[in-house]
Structure 1
């Protein structure tokens, strides 16, 4: 009995840190809020940390899987971009990189389709996402699992076939391409791998002992099992580590380590009373550099900056199976980190993406807005299921009455099948800035309903063309 009691107490202190600046009422509200979100959205595990000043004052893991602890690792997704930006700015401070140099100075072979604009793509335009590369192009290689040392350079070299969406320095386009290029610049300038540079110059400096940018020599059992939400239900998801997207979204970390990173961000680069990052570097990173919504939302270097009310910096991250978020309020020296092992663009997505903001609202004694029922996702489910049923019904009618069906009706049906295939295979994924394969990866429930509809249309086309041929042959026989 005594051993059990000791184990319970040990687990309690492993999972929670006494919240020095948060009273018990607030503490309980955070717990209730996270538990409600977890149950509502069916999120397998949520790991959170709250930072105040130079301390992690509260951390907790919410998980039914007892093997997941606050030390368990998660993919942090696009939170990686701020690390890449920090590395670049360290090299700028060392005099190895100039923000306004053309990318060709560091990658002389670099090409894009419109070479007239290539000299205007600078390190700065890559950092603040105004290079002109589109969001769509940046999401194209999410299904490229090349893990070779040459994978990143291969991807950047392939940009010779890519056109810019807009001229450099004119418009903000959030694109993974920008940070893939920056990751390669880090490797070329330092002669180190991205992982090695991060370890030696950021992770080790901030005592982020569990964080890494590689899965070599790591116990994969210590990485939380990823999940994708299908119709609001968590389904295990197993995708490889992406060397191709590493500098844009594949650092692996946990709440403890990420809290150390946010402490440095909130304290002008200081951690444990020691200067780990120069204040001048963080000032540039956290300063608005590109306008997203005038007088409201900007992009710095690897951070979104909201100035609409009180100034705060934030970023969301999403890779197949994982969603993350970090927020810092510099003036209040407040930070929140959230790591989860689920991802969704349909049911549950609003809850996943609003957890960090909800925690901040509770701490600030604001009302936490409850996410309404996701009518759009539910309507999409109903629409595509109804479409499949209608397609099957008319296909059945065609098979049953093909001898008497008119040529006109068959042709109309063929046209509709072609339109459905074009709409679902090309147009709908493009609305999400995704390819069809990317859509299946990030929006699997609706994606596979769409795939089912496309398959029905495809076989329907074959069947209807056979019917047309038979009608044509019969017409020829009559004329003869």
Structure 2
């Protein structure tokens, strides 16, 4: 089946207006052919139209690129997924001696190291990842290595990047150019803002309220510390080149072998469970999220910066990949509607809905009540009238920036004894999900939402 571009383009244009997103670039790889189009504007102030050559910030989709480069080291015998990190980085240590000795690249790739993001300010110079390794000597553990899943926005992949730097004798940005972008023929993909062609770059936007509409972000890029975990910019066609590598056993569209077929199998089959399985997927592989769409395995890699959003879905059974890059959002419902339009037209499996609430579980509120958090994030779970409530406590500066109150309260709707729906407090937001779990010692020990883990703080 072929994609009916005119109809989908028109539908995307309608949805962009509805959600206040300035533009979307979409690419589909299906049966070896690429279909791509762009709708909207690169910047709401200049009104310059977005095209398929427009480059967007990919955010944490960068982690999949870094994972591919690291798997090249594994292929070459220069690194091992299950050897301690300090085998390659002898100076690596954190506050916990056991974690210092046992954390491995596999832990880092699938976000189970448990190390807090306590790397301070490593600066913007070429030695940023070396400094991050030095700065975490006193970093505490959120949980013991391998105990649960807790997403690491920057630190975990910065450690992998430092291993790449040590093995290759060059900075991470050059490693990515020489190992991936150059051999794959990707002229539009870069890892550092100074390499980006400003004339082709989409401007990021924030949508703080429907009345205000999209406004140009005041933060035009993430710090360099996020590089290996969030700073790649690209086009939909070149994101699909990465997808091709994963769908075609390690071979890029230009015929270049990027990694071995065994490396791709390891990336997709080495998995850890995700405590909250509903928002993204029930498992995390090496640089990829594993989704279950009505019994079919689908792989995902997403990313957001302060004004951009990126989505990629890989459907191996139908040899299909869909990429979408936007300069506003993210909105889960926007992505679902756009992708389901495309998937339905292709006759493939579609994205499942979130589960419905289940009124049958009889919950003991006292086991959930408490304060959960980590630096920069605080959640309070309370009970009232037999119901559980979740209050997100925002830093006053963050609340003012987002034009939101500093305490946002949601009712928790049970899906099971450990999983809950979080209805939006604002019509411009989407329903979220949360897991409150690990009752080993009686009360829940962790709250997991948006892939982040938050230990109990009050006992």
**Which of 289, 312, 334 is the matching residue for 1:351?**
334
Q: Report the equivalent of 1:380.
A: none
Runs of 5+ in structure 1 lacking a partner? 1-20, 372-424, 452-480
Query: Does the residue aligned with 1:331 lie in a helix, a strand or coil?
Result: helix
Query: Which structure's residues are more often helix, by fraction?
Result: 1
Distance in 2 of aligned mates of 1:350 and 1:145: 36
Cα deviations by residue, 1:249-298 (Å, 9 ceiling, x for unpaired): 11111112112221222111223472422211111112142122689721
Q: How does 1:1-12 map to 2 (within 5 A)?
A: none
Q: Report the equivalent of 2:132.
A: 155
Q: Which has the larger radius of gyration?
A: 1
Relative to structure 1, the CA distance from residue 440 to residue 284 in structure 2 (aligned partners, 3 Å threshold; closer, same or farther) is: farther
**Which of 399, 402, 406 is the matching residue for 1:450?**
406
Cα deviations by residue, 1:64-102 (Å, 9 ceiling, x for unpaired): 433432111111011111111111110011111011111
Q: Report the equivalent of 2:346.
A: 363
Give me the TM-score of the superposition, normalised by structure 1: 0.68
Say whether residues 1:427 and 2:378 are aligned partners. Answer: yes
Q: How does 1:71-470 map to 2 (within 5 A)?
A: 71-133=53-115, 137=117, 146-176=123-153, 177-232=155-210, 233-239=213-219, 240-272=221-253, 274-277=255-258, 278-292=260-274, 297-307=282-292, 309-344=295-330, 348=331, 350-352=333-335, 355-356=338-339, 358-364=341-347, 427=378, 436=395, 439=398, 444-446=402-404, 449-450=405-406
Relative to structure 1, the CA distance from residue 328 to residue 438 in structure 2 (aligned partners, 3 Å threshold; closer, same or farther) is: farther
Query: Does the residue aligned with 1:224 lie in a helix, a strand or coil?
Result: coil
Distance in 2 of aligned mates of 1:156 and 1:30: 46
Query: Does the residue aligned with 1:244 lie in a helix, a strand or coil?
Result: helix
Cα deviations by residue, 1:52-72 (Å, 9 ceiling, x for unpaired): 13331x101111433432111
Is contact 2:30-2:321 (8 Å) kept? yes
Cα deviations by residue, 1:196-243 (Å, 9 ceiling, x for unpaired): 111111112221111011233543232111101111321101424521
**Which of 37, 41, 64 is the matching residue for 1:60?**
37
Relative to structure 1, the CA distance from residue 252 to residue 440 in structure 2 (aligned partners, 3 Å threshold; closer, same or farther) is: farther
Distance in 2 of aligned mates of 1:434 and 1:184: 34
Relative to structure 1, the CA distance from residue 231 to residue 273 in structure 2 (aligned partners, 3 Å threshold; closer, same or farther) is: closer
1:434 offset after TM fit, Å? 9.5
Distance in 2 of aligned mates of 1:303 and 1:270: 18
Distance in 2 of aligned mates of 1:221 and 1:33: 28
Query: Does the residue aligned with 1:274 lie in a helix, a strand or coil?
Result: coil
Is contact 1:81-1:248 (8 Å) kept? yes
Query: Which structure's residues are more often strand, by fraction?
Result: 2
Task: Count residues in correspondence.
Answer: 365
Distance in 2 of aligned mates of 1:125 and 1:288: 11
1:445 offset after TM fit, Å? 2.7
Relative to structure 1, the CA distance from residue 145 to residue 317 in structure 2 (aligned partners, 3 Å threshold; closer, same or farther) is: farther
Cα RMSD after superposing both structures: 3.2
Distance in 1 of aligned mates of 2:165 and 2:239: 23
Query: Does the residue aligned with 1:311 lie in a helix, a strand or coil?
Result: strand
Relative to structure 1, the CA distance from residue 366 to residue 172 in structure 2 (aligned partners, 3 Å threshold; closer, same or farther) is: closer
Runs of 5+ in structure 2 lacking a partner? 42-46, 355-375, 382-389, 408-459
Distance in 2 of aligned mates of 1:367 and 1:95: 39
Q: Report the equivalent of 1:16.
A: none
